Amino acid sequence: MIYNNPFSQLAESVSPMAIQFFVFAMIALVIIGTLLDIVHKKNVKYFFENAKKAKKSAKKILTTGEKTSVILKTIASDIATTSELGAGKRRAAHLLGMYGTILFWIGSVVMIFFYIEPSLNTPSVWPIIWHVGAIMTVLGGSWFWFFLRVDVYSEAQPWYRIIKADLFVLALIASSLFGLIWSFLQSLNLSERWDDKVFLVFYIVSNLVLFGGVYWSKFAHMFYKPGAAIQKNLAEADGSRDNLPPPADAPEQFGLGIKREEPKHY
Ligand code: HEM
């Protein structure tokens, strides 16, 4: 299964154009959901007003070279390695899920737009990228959802309690998991089978929930977080610090109590 392009096998019974249209529809849903979210929360308006205000208290004007260097460092660290999450399980789970999703989506787009025709041979690297990406997403997302999300990890809520905030992570896990199961069942090539079609429907529905739910879910954090990290590091470099006070110039003495328990109460 891992060497099979599941979309080209699907294209034997479904029009390739319909599959490609589905991808465009999902992209449109993300754009619409994010724009509605921006209008509703007014977060981008606040973000730019705040950045403008902070600029007034800048202690130095950054050159284009300095700005570029700050942005490149932010991309390499804050964004590519989600350094905001510190060292440890939370960051490892996020990286697994984030890179898994990126591989899964890139694999999908390449296989759907370049190798969808059943007569074409798909280089095996693309199905491998797609399947490995899906497995990474399921592992990273499940690790986060079952063990690390704050209401379970810090607030002692049972793992099976589902709230609206779980929409993004659960839809993400579902779309990868159903995609994998669909690909596996379809690759068995058994005639008169209906189970692969059931999982194809689950795969489609979970994608509709994931991409159609942007307005209600945490999906858009993947756009907001990088923007906020760049702004924060630019504000650090020009001395404005977003109008926040500098860290105290004093030794970090918290007493022995700090060692009693790992900090996990947010
Ligand atoms: C393809 C890109 C990404 C995917 C698939 C992804 C996925 C996720 C998921 C599933 C969660 C858990 C959401 C929840 O609380 O239920 C999450 C949380 C988070 N993400 Fe991302 N993310 C992406 C990009 C990014 C980027 C670029 C950043 C930072 C620059 C980032 C920073 C965070 C942070 C700080 C959290 C909160 C983690 C926590 O509560 O432990 N993410 N992300």
DSSP 83: G
Summarised one tens digit per residue, pLDDT across range 118-150 is: 999 999 999 999 999 999 999 999 999 999 998
Summarised one tens digit per residue, pLDDT across range 149-181 is: 988 888 888 889 999 999 999 999 999 999 999
CA 135 / ligand 1 centre spacing (Å): 17
Residue type for position 26? M
pLDDT exceeds 90 at position 241: no
CA 222 / ligand 1 centre spacing (Å): 7
Instruction: From 173, 214, 221, 233, give the residue whose CB has the most ligand 1 atoms within 8 Å, as the site to mutate.
Output: 221
Q: Does the beta carbon of 94 sit less than 6 angstroms from any atom of ligand 1?
A: yes
Residue type for position 255? G
Of the pLDDT bands very low, low, confident and very high (cuts 50, 70, 90), residue 247 is confident
Please state the domain extents for the chain.
6-236
- The angle subtended at Cα 264 by Cα 260 and Cα 266, nearest 5°, is 130
What's residue 193's pLDDT?
A: 78
Alpha carbons 256 and 228: distance in angstroms, whole number: 35
Q: Does the beta carbon of 85 sit less than 6 angstroms from any atom of ligand 1?
A: yes
Instruction: From 79, 89, 95, 98, give the residue whose CB has the most ligand 1 atoms within 8 Å, as the site to mutate.
Output: 98
Quick one: average pLDDT of 195-222?
A: 96
CA 197 / ligand 1 centre spacing (Å): 31
Long-range contacts, stretch 61-70, CB < 8 angstroms, 24+ apart: 61/238, 62/234, 62/237, 62/238, 66/237, 67/234, 70/230, 70/233, 70/234, 70/237
Summarised one tens digit per residue, pLDDT across range 67-93 is: 999 999 999 999 999 999 988 899 999
Write the CB contacts of 18 (distance below 8 Å, at least 6 apart in sequence). Answer: none
CA 136 / ligand 1 centre spacing (Å): 14
Which tops the pLDDT comparison, 109 or 255? 109
Residue nearest to atom 24 of ligand 1 (CA): 222
What's residue 266's pLDDT?
A: 61
